[in-house]
Amino acid sequence: MTGEQVVAPGPGSAAGPALVGIVLVSHSARVAEAVADLARELAAGGTVAPVAAAGGTAVGGLGTSAERIVAAARAVDRGAGVALLADLGSSVLTVKALLMEDELPPGSWLLDAPFVEGAVAAVVTASTGAPPAEVAASAADAYTYRKT
Amino acid sequence: MRDAEFFRRWMAAAAAAVEREADRLTELDSPIGDADHGSNLLRGFTAVLAALEAEPSAAAPGAVLQLAGRTLISTVGGASGPLYGTLLRRTGKALGESAEVSDAELREALSEGVGAVAQLGGAAPGDKTMLDALVPGVAALGTSYRAAGSAAENGALATVPMQARKGRASYLGERSIGYQDPGATSSALLLGALADVAESAGAR
């Protein structure tokens, strides 16, 4: 868990304990990418948990692509679980439908958290090697940060 | 008894109805939604027809509906994709692998499918969603296919005075009142297509 080493795929790899992967699902590819960048930057300083953006439709429009979500989840799966965070409507429903049909890697689950704050909390926590329950709790906790 | 061909005809009739009504669905979706319901469903059902054509080996009712549902989830891009996709997949799964199913089995399977939609969206009748057409429609299947189509149509009309409590329209609060729900409208098309296909096959 030291240095900027790339986390090798597979559970319990030589790079240390497998990390929970994070998938950010947005109606907009730019929103998903930007939030992924923001979360990675704020988690930097050591190992950063694998984060993938799944934004927009397969043809580059606004909306949700089941294929992109499945591909992103597979890309960040290190065998320690995959946390998916979705923004609105069809993003949430598509992830839920894929979970119901067992189309995501084992140990995948939908986070209940605000999109930007939850993403940062989840990536920072996952980067410490925390187990899924801690990643989920930390992301959900972001709902309680009042702004006024 | 209903074979795979019946279900392929149902999907084709649904696709034709969506194509015929796509502009109207999008129009209904402009004041309270994001004005893409017709085009999204048209893309989805066009893909369903292509997928079924490419898969002649889907030779059981359950397989036909599961393939259709999977295709909708992957191609629609909006909330109607996972919702209709789950409806058809769950119905298809409930039908199992039999080469032919009875009308009673179809009714039972559709009830399971509608239950899965309610679970996925966390909605109930009265929330101004597709459930307002599907729930009465599937309940009326016990009477006849035509009764199911009419009940779904009436259910869609009954969404006009409702205030949306789910989806994009719910952000509008009271301003969602006075508009027919596009999802309930397309659900009525789906059950209407089923009634048409059953009637042309010589059912009640």
Angstrom distance (rounded) from CA A54 to CA A73:
9
Mean pLDDT of all residues in B93-114 = 97
Tens digits of residue pLDDT in A80-131: 999 999 999 999 999 999 999 899 999 999 999 999 999 999 999 999 999 9
Higher local confidence (pLDDT), A59 or A107: A107
Pairing of strands A82-86, A108-110: parallel
The per-residue pLDDT for A1 is 41
Looking at per-residue pLDDT, the higher value among B202 and A104 belongs to: A104
Residue B93, pLDDT above cutoff 70 = yes
Provide the number of CB pairs (under 8 Å) joining chain A to chain B.
52
Residue A107 region by backbone torsions, left for phi larger than 0, else alpha for psi between -120 and 50, else beta: left
What pLDDT, on the 0 to 100 scale, is given for residue A90?
94
Question: B74: which chain A residues are within 8 Å (Cβ-Cβ)?
Answer: 65-67
DSSP B64: H
Give the strand order in the sheet containing A51-55: A51-55, A21-26, A82-86, A108-110
CB atoms within 10 A of CB A112: 13
For residue B115, the SS3 value is helix
**Interchain proximity B83–A93, CB inside 8 Å:** yes
Q: A97, B82: Cβ pair inside 8 Å?
A: yes
Please report which confidence band the pLDDT of residue B131 belongs to, taking 50, 70 and 90 as the band edges.
Answer: very high
Substitution target in B76, B119, B165 with the highest count of A β-carbons within 10 Å is B76
Kindly tell me if the per-residue pLDDT of A62 is higher than 70. Answer: yes
Query: What percent of chain B has a predicted confidence (pLDDT) above 90?
Result: 93
- Residues contacting residue A56 through CB under 8 Å, at least 6 positions apart: A26, A27, A28, A29, A32, A62, A63, A65, A68
What is the CB neighbour count within 10 angstroms for residue A2? Answer: 7
Whether B78 and chain A come into contact, CB under 8 Å, resolves to yes
Compare all CA atoms of chain B with the CA of A90 and give the residue at the minimum distance: B79
Contact criterion met (CB below 8 Å) for A126 and A93: no
Give the pLDDT mean for B118-129.
Answer: 96
Q: Is the pLDDT of residue A9 over 90?
A: no
Nearest to B78 among A58, A67, A90 (CB): A90
Ramachandran angles phi, psi of A54, nearest 5° = -130, 80
On whether any CB of chain A is under 8 Å from the CB of B73, the answer is: yes
Instruction: Give the CATH class of A21-144.
Output: alpha beta
| Contact list, B167 vs chain A (CB under 8 Å) | 89
Please tell me the distance in Å from A130's CA to the nearest CA on chain B.
29
Q: Are B200 and A122 in contact (CB under 8 A)?
A: no
Residue with tokens 């061909």: B5
- Residue A4: per-residue pLDDT: 43
Q: Which residues of B touch A100 (CB under 8 A)?
A: 86, 116, 120
Q: What is the mean pLDDT of residues B163-168?
A: 93
Query: Is the Cβ pair B120, A100 closer than 8 Å?
Result: yes
Task: Dump pLDDT digits (tens) for B18-38.
Answer: 999 999 999 999 998 889 999
The confidence score (pLDDT) of residue B151 equals: 98
CA distance A31 to A35: 6
- Which of A57, A88, A94 lies nearest to residue B82, judging by beta carbons? A94
Query: Among all residues of chain A, which has the CA nearest to that of B83?
Result: A93
Query: Cβ–Cβ of B74/A67 closer than 8 Å?
Result: yes
In this predicted structure, the answer to whether residue B60 has a pLDDT above a threshold of 80 is yes
- The alpha-carbon gap from B52 to the nearest alpha carbon of chain A, in Å, equals 19
**Which among A78, A142, A89, A147 has a CA at the least distance from the CA of A114?**
A142
Q: Chain B window 98-127: which residues touch A at a Cβ cutoff of 8 Å?
A: 116, 120-121
Answer for the pair A92, A110: CB distance below 8 angstroms, yes or no. Answer: yes
Q: What is the pLDDT of residue A15?
A: 53
Q: How does the average pLDDT of chain A come out, rounded?
A: 90
Over residues A55-60, mean pLDDT: 92
Choose the closest CB to A64 out of B36, B77, B168: B77
Range in A9-23, A129-143, B83-97 the model is least confident about = A9-23
Give me the pLDDT at residue B53, please: 96
With beta carbons under 8 A apart, name residues in chain A contacting B76. Answer: 90
Residue B50 clears pLDDT 80, i.e. is over it: yes
For residue B41, the chain A residues in CB contact (below 8 A) are none
Res. B203 pLDDT band, cuts 50 70 90: low
Q: Which token pair is A128?
A: 């410490």
**Residue B86 to residue A97, Cβ atoms within 8 A:** yes
pLDDT at A123: 98
Among the partner-chain residues A61, A88, A96, the one whose CB lies closest to the CB of B77 is A61
